[in-house]
Amino acid sequence: MPNRPYQGTGSEYRVERNKTYTLLKVYAEAGMTGTNSKKGRVVIVSGPSGVGKSTICKEILKKLDYVSLSISVTTRPKSEAEIDGQDYWFISEEDFRERIEKGLLLEYAEVFGHMYGTPKDKVDEELRAGKVVILEIDVQGAIKARVVFPDAAMVFILPPSAKDLAERLNNRGREAGDVAEERLNGASAEIAAAWQYYQHMVINEDLQQAVNECVQIIEKTGTET
């Protein structure tokens, strides 16, 4: 485990667990167990905004053909650089609430004023096909998903330093200054919580090295074999 570039107790970080155990019950009744006794496995990848987790996940897909990336739904407005259905599924808040009521989301959480969730049907489909499914989700969602998939490998992507993360957020130019500052402030709480819940911590100082570390983690956690 790398030396901790951040310190914190995580006591300020709270997780909303509503409906998590209901989801677990639904999965059990559907014959899909939380231990991933089917062919596939789940790998959860999280990290603060701007740390490069999306880029890392896309690079992993190029290296491992048995890995699938779950595309989250969100009520957040789409940026000019993003593509609907590739980066996220961008939907209305009304549509999001309807999906919650119908039990179509494996997990969901509110992050910086917007809702994010993981569509259940696609994850089911890929697991049954023997895929390793990456859930690129925030810490709140990861804790909920871990209840459903207790054998999931949990990987948290860290920046080399808080200064480096601030520079990355500013350079990508997607958020206004106040929003970027809010995300940066929230990063310390996420990172503090991550030390409590995640088995694997990967520092993204060099992209290829970080990708290779994640690939090794996935290979060690098992595949469809």
- For residues 23-33, average pLDDT: 40
Considering the domain boundaries, does residue 32 fall inside one?
yes
> How many structural domains comprise the chain?
1
Buried b (16+ CB within 10 A) or exposed e, 8-18: bebeebeeeee
* pLDDT surpasses 70 at 175: no
Select from 168, 188, 192 the least CA-distant residue to 180.
Answer: 168
Instruction: For residue 142, give its domain range.
Output: 20-71+130-221
Q: Which one is predicted more confidently, 21 or 39?
A: 39
Average pLDDT, the chain: 81
Residue 99 lies in a domain: no
For residue 63, tell me if it sits in a domain: yes
Distance, in Å, from the CA atom of 103 to the CA atom of 26, rounded to the nearest integer, reads: 9
CATH code, domain carrying 56: 3.40.50.300
Instruction: Tell me the per-residue pLDDT of 105-150, one tens digit each, with 9 for 90 and over.
Output: 999 988 888 999 999 999 999 999 999 999 999 998 999 999 999 9
Residues 181-207 as b or e (16 or more Cβ within 10 Å = b): eebbebbbbbbbbbbebbebbbbbeee
Q: 150 lies in a domain?
A: yes
Q: Is 85 within the bounds of a domain?
A: no
Helices (H) and strands (E) in the chain, counts: 8, 9
Which H or E run includes 99? helix 93-101
Structure tokens belonging to residue 162? 């808080």
User: Would residue 30 count as lying in a domain?
Assistant: yes
Question: Has this prediction a pTM greater than 0.85?
Answer: no
Examine residue 57 and state whether it is found in any structural domain, yes or no: yes
